[in-house]
A and B are shown apart, each in its own frame.
Chain A
Amino acid sequence: MVARKKPSTMVARKKHYRPPGKKKEGNASRYVTRSQAIKQLQVTLGFFRRLSILKGIFPREPKKKFKGNNHTYYHVKDIAFLQHEPLLDKFRDIRAYQKKIKKAEAKKNADLATLLRTREPTYKLDRLVRERYPKFVDALRDLDDCLTMVHLFAALPAVERAKIDVELIHNCRRLSHEWQAYVCRTYKLRKVFISVKGIYYQAEIEGQKITWLTPHAMQQVLPDDVNFSVMLTFLEFYETLLGFVNFRLYHSLNVKYPPILDPKLEALASDLYALSRYIVSNTRTSTLEPKAASSSPSEQLEAKEKEMQADESELRLAQLQHQLPSNEPGALMHLMEGAECENEDDQDTKECKRLFKNMKFFLSREVPRESLLFVIPAFGGVVSWDGEAAPYKEADQSISHQIVDRPTQGHRYLSREYIQPQWIYDCINAWIILPTEAYMVGRIPPPHLSPFVDNDAEGYVPDYAETIKRLQAAARNEVLPMPGVGKEDLDDPQNLLVEGYISRAEASEAAQTKKKMVTLEKQYHEELQSELQGAVMKKSKQGSTEHAKASEESVPDPKQIAEDIETMSKLGMSRKKRGLLEAIEKRKERNTARISKLKERKKKLKSSEN
Chain B
Amino acid sequence: MGASKKESVEVNKKEEEENKNRKKTQPTKKEKLSTEESLLHKKQEDRAKNYKGFSEDDASEDFKSVEKSEAGDSESSGDEGFHNTSSNEGLANESQSEDSEPDQGGEESDSSEDEVAPRNTVGDVPLEWYRDEKHIGYDITGKKLKKKERQDKLDSFLANVDNSKNWRKIYDEYNDEDVEVTNEETKLIRRMLKGKAPHGDFDLYAVLGLVRAIRKGLIKFDKPKEEPRFYMLWGDDASSSEKTGHLSYIPAPKPNLPGHEESYNPSLEYIPTQEEINSYQLMDEEDRPKFIPKRFMSLRSIPAYENAVKDSFERCLDLYLCPRVHKKRINIDPESLKPKLPSRKDLKPYPATCYLEYKGHKDAVMSISTETSGHWIASGSSDGTVRLWEVETCRCIKVWEFGEVVQYVAWNPLPELPVLAVSVGQDVFLLNTGLGNEETQRKVKELLHVATSTALDDSGNKVSAWSWLQDDKHEGIRLQHFKTVYSVEWHLFHPTRSIFFVSTKKNVRVYDLLKQKLIKKLETGLREVSSISVHPAGDNVIVGSRDGKLCWFDMDLSSKPYKVLKCHPKDITNVAFHRSYPLFASCSDDCTAYVFHGMVYSDLNQNPLIVPLEILRGHAISNGRGVLDCKFHPRQPWLFTAGADSLIKLYCH
Query: Hey, which chain B residues are within 8 Å of A131, CB to CB?
Result: 244
Partner pick for B617 among A119, A551, A556, A568, CB 8 A cutoff: A556
Q: In the complex, what residues of A have CB within 8 A of residue B320's CB?
A: 49, 52-53, 58, 230, 234
Per-residue CB contact flags for chain A residues 407-436 toward chain B (1 = under 8 Å, else 0) read: 000000000000011100000000000000
| Residues on the A chain within 8 Å of B252, using CB | 58, 142, 145
Contact B337 A59 (CB under 8 A): no
> In this assembly, does A66 line the interface, its C-beta being within 8 Å of a C-beta of chain B?
no
Stretch from A271-279, A508-516, A569-577 at the B interface: A569-577
Contact B259 A453 (CB under 8 A): yes
Q: Is A59 a contact partner of B254 (Cβ separation < 8 A)?
A: no
Q: Interface range on chain B: under 10, 10 to 19, 20 to 34, or 35 or more?
A: 35 or more
Specify the chain B residue showing the minimal Cβ separation from A134.
B240
A564-B615, A602-B269 known; A195+B264 contact, CB < 8 A: yes
CB distance from B47 to the nearest CB of A (A): 11
Query: Which of B59-67, B178-186, B228-236, B485-493 forms part of the interface with chain A?
Result: B228-236
Q: Are B268 and A145 in contact, with the CB atoms below 8 A? A: no
A222 with B323, Cβ < 8 A, contacts A367-B299, A546-B357 known: no
Q: Which of A234-281 contact B (CB under 8 A)?
A: 234, 243-244, 246-248, 251, 257-258
A142 touches B308 (CB 8 A): no
CB-based contact A220/B298 at 8 Å: no
Contacts of B221 in A (CB 8 A): none
Given known pairs A58-B320, A215-B305, A421-B299, the reply for A129 and B233 (CB within 8 Å) is yes
A156 touches B309 (CB 8 A): yes
Q: Does B334 have its Cβ within 8 Å of any Cβ on chain A? A: yes
In contact, A571 and B565 (Cβ under 8 angstroms): yes
Nearest Cβ in chain A — how far from B21, in angstroms?
41
Given the known interface contacts A220-B304, A464-B267, A572-B611, the answer about A577 and B337 at a Cβ–Cβ threshold of 8 Å is yes
* Given A75-B247, A231-B312, A366-B300: A571 touches B319 (CB 8 Å cut-off): no
Q: Which of B230, B355, B566 has most A Cβ within 10 Å?
A: B230
B353 close to A (CB within 8 Å): yes
Asked if A524 lies at the interface with its beta carbon under 8 angstroms from chain B, I say no
- Produce 1/0 per residue, B302-342, CB < 8 A to A: 11111111111101110111111100000010100111010
Are A405 and B355 in contact, with the CB atoms below 8 A?
no
Among A125-154, those with CB < 8 Å from B are 126, 129-137, 139, 141-142, 144-145, 148-149, 152
Q: Mark A44-86, 1 if CB is under 8 A from B, else 0.
A: 0000010011001011110000000000110101100100000
Among residues of A, the one whose C-beta sits closest to the C-beta of B300 is A405
Taking A61-B325, A136-B234 as contacts, is the C-beta distance between A230 and B313 under 8 angstroms? yes
Q: Is B251 an interface residue (CB 8 A)?
A: yes
Residues of A within 8 A of B247 (CB): 60, 75, 77-78
Contact A216 B319 (CB under 8 A): no
Q: Are A135 and B264 in contact (CB under 8 A)?
A: no
Closest residue of A by beta carbon distance from B305: A197
Q: Chain A residues with Cβ under 8 A from B123's Cβ?
A: none
Best-surrounded residue of B300, B303, B317 (most CB of chain A within 10 A)? B300
Q: Which residues of A contact B228 (CB under 8 A)?
A: 258
Residue of B nearest to A560 (CB): B617
Instruction: State whether the Cβ of B460 lies closer than 8 Å to any Cβ in chain A.
Output: no
By a CB distance below 8 angstroms, the chain A residues around B232 are 247-248, 251
Interface stretch of the complex, out of A302-310, A322-330, A337-345, A441-449: A441-449
A420 contacts across to B, CB distance below 8 A: 298-299
Residue on B with the closest CB to A566? B338
Contacts of A248 in B (CB 8 A): 232-234
Contacts of A601 in B (CB 8 A): 268-273
Inter-chain CA distance A222–B339, complex, in Å, is 56
User: Which residues of chain A have C-beta atoms less than 8 A from B237's C-beta?
Assistant: 135-137
Q: Which residue of B lies closest to A570 (CB)?
A: B338
Instruction: Answer yes or no: A396 CB below 8 A from chain B CBs.
Output: no
Is B610 located at the chain interface by the 8 A CB criterion?
yes
Which B-chain residue is minimally distant from A464 (CB atoms)? B267
Residues of chain A within 8 A (CB-CB) of B229 are 243, 258
Q: How far is the CA of A49 from the CA of B249 in the complex (A)?
A: 18
Partner of B316, one of A194, A231, A452: A231
Task: Assess the B262–A569 pair: CB atoms within 8 A.
Answer: no
Most chain B CB within 10 A, of A72, A75, A550, is at: A550
CA A74 – CA B259 in complex, angstroms? Answer: 35
Grouping DSSP codes into helix (H, G, I), strand (E, B) and loop, the B interface class, with mixed when no group exceeds half, is loop
Contacting pair B234 A135 (CB below 8 A): yes
Q: Are B265 and A450 in contact (CB under 8 A)?
A: no
On whether A568 and B357 interact (CB within 8 A), knowing A81-B246, A447-B268, the answer reads no
> Interface readout for A164-208 with B: 1 if CB under 8 Å, 0 if not?
000000000000000000000000000001111110100000000
Residue A283 is within 8 A (CB to CB) of chain B in the complex: no
The answer to whether A72 and B263 touch across the interface, beta carbons within 8 angstroms, is: no
Find chain B residues with CB under 8 A from A536 CB.
none
Note all chain B residues with C-beta closer than 8 A to A251.
232
Segment of A290-298, A381-389, A481-489, A578-586 engaged in the interface with chain B: A578-586
Residues of B within 8 A of A194 (CB): 263-265, 299, 302
A52 to B231, CA, bound (A): 25
A243 to B355, CA, bound (A): 82
Q: How far is the CA of A135 from the CA of B236 in the complex (A)?
A: 9
Kindly list chain B residues whose C-beta atoms are within 8 Å of the C-beta of A231: 309, 312-313, 316
A462 on the interface (CB 8 Å rule)?
yes
Chain B neighbourhood of A607, CB < 8 A: none
Interface residue B257 (Cβ < 8 Å from any Cβ of A)? yes
Judge whether B265 and A247 touch: CB under 8 Å: no
Is A223 in the interface zone, CB < 8 Å from B?
yes
A452 touches B259 (CB 8 A): yes
CB pair A584–B267 under 8 Å, yes or no, is no
A58 closest partner in B (C-beta) = B324
Q: Which residues of A contact B293 (CB under 8 A)?
A: 196
Residues of B within 8 A of A605 (CB): 268-269
Shortest C-beta distance, A406 to chain B (Å), equals 8
Q: Which of B233, B240, B241, B304 has the most CB of A within 10 A?
A: B233
Which residues of B are found within 8 Å of A52, using beta-carbon distances?
Answer: 320
Do the beta carbons of B310 and A223 come within 8 Å of each other? yes
A312 interface contact, C-beta 8 A: no
Cross-chain contact B263 with A195 (CB below 8 angstroms): yes
Q: B308: which A residues are within 8 A, CB to CB?
A: 152, 197-198, 215, 220
Interface contact A197-B265, CB-CB below 8 Å: no
Please measure, in the bound complex, the distance between the C-alpha atom of A72 and the C-alpha atom of B268, giving whole angstroms: 44
* A200 cross-chain contacts in B, Cβ below 8 A: 257-258
- Smallest CB separation, B106 vs chain A (Å): 25
Question: Which residue of A is nearest B617, CB measured?
Answer: A556
Distance A530 CA – B271 CA, assembled complex (angstroms): 49
Using a CB-CB cutoff of 8 Å, which residues 433-489 of chain A contact chain B?
Answer: 444-445, 447-450, 452-453, 462-464
CB of A598 within 8 A of chain B? Answer: yes
Question: CB < 8 Å: which of B230, B296, B307, B316 contacts A258?
Answer: B230
Is residue B618 within 8 Å, beta carbon to beta carbon, of the partner chain?
yes
Q: Are B259 and A450 in contact (CB under 8 A)?
A: yes
Counting CB contacts under 8 A, is A219 at the interface? yes
CB distance from B301 to the nearest CB of A (A): 9
Contact with B along A529-565 (1 / 0, CB 8 A): 0000000000000000010001101111000100010
Docked-complex contact A130 and B233, CB < 8 angstroms:
yes
A455 and chain B: residue at smallest CB distance: B260
Distance A599 CA – B334 CA, assembled complex (angstroms): 26
16 A-B pairs with C-beta separation under 8 A: A60-B250, A72-B323, A193-B258, A194-B299, A195-B262, A216-B302, A234-B319, A234-B320, A248-B232, A248-B233, A258-B228, A405-B298, A445-B265, A448-B265, A571-B612, A581-B337
Further 9 A-B residue pairs, CB within 8 A, beyond A194-B263, A572-B612: A59-B323, A196-B302, A196-B305, A220-B304, A223-B309, A226-B310, A234-B316, A243-B229, A448-B263
B interface residues with partner A (beta carbon < 8 Å): 48, 218, 228-234, 237, 240-241, 244, 246-247, 249-252, 254-255, 257-260, 262-273, 293-294, 296-300, 302-313, 315-317, 319-325, 332, 334, 337-339, 341, 353-357, 565-567, 610-615, 617-618
Which 4 A-B pairs rank lowest in CB-CB distance, beginning with the nearest? A218-B304, A452-B257, A554-B354, A568-B612
